[in-house]
């Protein structure tokens, strides 16, 4: 989703639908924000590679990329 919002030049708000009943709510939202920012950095750094993967439409080729950037 973040990839396509970026590709469409979306400039609006993002929101999070979370109900952290068992965790500290501020910390849970904070962690989600960290993940979004990390995802944004990966997208900016690897934009061309992600574009090729999307065009290739090959889940088996995309999976190793996702493992690499998440770990």
- Whether residue 67 contacts residue 45, with contact meaning beta carbons closer than 8 Å, is answered with no
CA distance 70 to 56: 21
Q: What is the pLDDT along the chain (71 residues), one digit of tens a residue?
A: 889 999 999 999 988 888 888 889 999 999 999 999 999 999 999 999 999 999 999 999 999 999 999 87
Q: Which pLDDT does position 14 carry in this prediction? A: 87
Domain ranges of the chain: 46-71
Q: Which pLDDT does position 70 carry in this prediction? A: 85
Q: Which pLDDT does position 18 carry in this prediction? A: 87
Q: What is the pTM of this model?
A: 0.73
Q: Which pLDDT does position 27 carry in this prediction? A: 93
Whose structure tokens read 């590679």? 49
For residue 14, the 8-state DSSP code is -
Give SS3 for 59: helix
């Amino acid at each position: 989703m973040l990839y396509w919002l970026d590709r469409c030049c979306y400039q609006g708000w993002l929101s999070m639908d979370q109900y952290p009943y068992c965790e500290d709510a501020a910390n849970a939202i904070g962690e989600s924000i960290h993940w979004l920012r990390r995802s944004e950095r990966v997208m900016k750094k690897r934009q061309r590679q992600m574009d090729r993967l999307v065009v290739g439409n090959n889940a088996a080729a995309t999976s190793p990329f996702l493992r690499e950037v998440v770990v």
